[in-house]
Structure 1
Amino acid sequence: MAPAAEEHPQDPRRIRAMFDAVAPRYDLMNDIMSFGIHRRWKRRLRRMAGKPFGRGLALDLAGGTGDIADELSDGGWAVVVCDASEGMMATGRDRNAGPRVRWVGGDAERLPFPDGTFDLVTLGFGLRNFRDRDAALAEIVRVLAPEGRFLCLEFSTPARPIRGLYRSYSRRMIPRLGAAVAGKPEAYRYLIDSIADFPDQRTLVGWFQQAGLTDVRYRNLMFGIAAIHGGRRPAAHP
């Protein structure tokens, strides 16, 4: 039997409250946990996005404090950050994200945008947090313009030689860092559990294809600790 809604690990209210609580120290924690490597991964995402095409309009879904949006804006894209956490977006606005960035509160499973709005959708470390991932992927495809691109940066399954060491570091150190820096060890225990429960690279390829994306490929980062998956909405989406 499925757990009750309020007990579901990806319960939207729980996730939103968790991110609101950690927002002031979220970027600092990411820098500490990854030794700053997450910023290199996000720059790689920007390079994969390439130069603006079409109308040059991008959606950074679950964009949080806007660090990916800043990268895209620097690359010439006009960017809309959409996130369910007002606390995260407030932190990003206070940090003075680029002038080509707009902020919109919204649910990934019911995006507040018309069909075919965006030439590019990016999603960084957010897919794990959606309760109905099929619905979120369907919404992403819906708001993409024909031949628009989707790029998803997410934790994944590391190569076998480093898998044990990585998981040991994650389970032992990250909750302690969460307690020391952010004062929220429970949020970072959730982070580790959500990474462990997330499917591997090839499974995610299948999810993208089932959602209707074509040319689906992925690139491993740091031996598969993270990966960037990409796909394209067909010119004539069913």
Structure 2
Amino acid sequence: MRDTTTHFGFTNVPTSEKVKKVRDVFDSVAPKYDLMNDLMSMGVHRLWKRHAISKLNLQPGDHALDLAGGTGDLALLMQKRMTRSGRVTICDINYSMLDQGRHRLTDEGWLCGMEWVQANAEELPYPSNCFDVVTIGFGIRNVTNIPQALSEMFRVLKPGGKLMVLEFSKIAIPALRPLYDLYSFKLLPEIGHIVTKDRDSYQYLVESIRMFPDQESFKAMIEAAGFFNVRYENLSAGISAIHLGYKV
């Protein structure tokens, strides 16, 4: 049987190969992932993340699942919101990213209430109806089968639970798009080359942003997975967007 294909940036690859290719990218960028995020966004990604977490209305005692949790930025913000009285399970398919985050947050004194799990968002190793909140920040576009991952997020959420997806999106102001393209395709890979000696990984990351659905299309995908009252908020003119949805 011939393998189906999917996109890896602007390139079509066999579906069975995408997970490994994405893993190779993040194995390469993991040691300087946080530094590069600060450089590429001039620190604005931290404001986006804080604003996104503020939308969750987290309560002490909640149990949150942070997918593609990487180096722990969202997990840390959630624990602070829960005043160290909740639990966050950080799940990522990439061991290198988990290792960076676990060491970082342990060094900062955030050992309690954190669980680190290597798993695929398309096949979550959890029973149904067990999390109060599911989040994924800047990771959904790297998933091979996005509808399957959204279905899994819906499955593991408790009734009444909330989904929050923070992801790069489509510029809402057409006049800004040429400038944004220039920055993305010319400057960002060059920054990646200088800082990490890996231009190709950052070229892929830029391309993956362009291949991700626009806000309305992604909203429809979330609704198709079973979520209700789905809405989104553009950040920085649509450079990124917060999508929220609920499970009945």
TM bracket (short chain): over 0.9
Pick from 143, 164, 182 the counterpart of residue 156 of structure 2.
Answer: 143
Tell me the residue number matched to 2:214.
200
1:228 has 2:242 as partner: yes
Task: Map Cα deviations across residues 190-226 of structure 1 (whole Å, 9 max, x no partner).
Answer: 0111111111101111001100000100000000110
- TM-score normalised by the chain length of structure 1: 0.93
Runs in 1 of length 4+ with deviation above 3 angstroms? 1-6
1:21 has 2:23 as partner: no
d(CA) in 2 for partners of 1:107, 1:36: 28
Query: Which segments of 5 or more consecutive residues in structure 2 lack a partner in the other structure?
Result: none
Q: 1:93 to 1:180 in 2, by over 3 A?
A: same
> Counterparts of 1:51-130 in structure 2 under 5 Å?
51-52=58-59, 55-76=61-82, 77-97=86-106, 98=110, 99-130=112-143
Offset of residue 3 of structure 1: 3.3
Pick from 169, 176, 180 the counterpart of residue 156 of structure 1.
Answer: 169
Offset of residue 119 of structure 1: 0.5
AA aligned to 2:130 is T
Task: Map Cα deviations across residues 148-174 of structure 1 (whole Å, 9 max, x no partner).
Answer: 000000000012121111111100001
* Contact 2:131 2:161 survives alignment (8 Å): yes
Tell me the residue number matched to 1:12.
19
Identity of aligned residues (%): 42
Pick from 130, 141, 146 the counterpart of residue 133 of structure 1.
Answer: 146
* Contact 1:151 1:231 survives alignment (8 Å): yes
* Contact 1:126 1:154 survives alignment (8 Å): yes
Report the 3-state secondary structure (helix = DSSP H, G, I; strand = E; otherwise coil) of the residue aligned with 2:162.
strand
Report the 3-state secondary structure (helix = DSSP H, G, I; strand = E; otherwise coil) of the residue aligned with 1:49.
coil
d(CA) in 2 for partners of 1:4, 1:127: 15
AA aligned to 1:108 is A
Number of aligned residues: 233
AA aligned to 1:79 is V
Report the 3-state secondary structure (helix = DSSP H, G, I; strand = E; otherwise coil) of the residue aligned with 1:7.
strand
Offset of residue 100 of structure 1: 1.9
d(CA) in 1 for partners of 2:6, 2:134: 32
Offset of residue 178 of structure 1: 0.7
- TM-score normalised by the chain length of structure 2: 0.90
Tell me the residue number matched to 1:45.
52
Offset of residue 51 of structure 1: 2.6
d(CA) in 2 for partners of 1:38, 1:8: 32
AA aligned to 2:158 is A
d(CA) in 2 for partners of 1:3, 1:109: 17
Offset of residue 12 of structure 1: 0.5
Report the 3-state secondary structure (helix = DSSP H, G, I; strand = E; otherwise coil) of the residue aligned with 2:105.
coil
Offset of residue 183 of structure 1: 1.4
Task: Map Cα deviations across residues 121-174 of structure 1 (whole Å, 9 max, x no partner).
Answer: 001011100101111000000000001000000000012121111111100001
AA aligned to 2:101 is G
AA aligned to 2:51 is R
AA aligned to 1:195 is I
d(CA) in 2 for partners of 1:144, 1:26: 29
d(CA) in 2 for partners of 1:123, 1:4: 21
Report the 3-state secondary structure (helix = DSSP H, G, I; strand = E; otherwise coil) of the residue aligned with 1:231.
strand
AA aligned to 2:79 is S
Offset of residue 2 of structure 1: 4.3
d(CA) in 1 for partners of 2:127, 2:28: 31
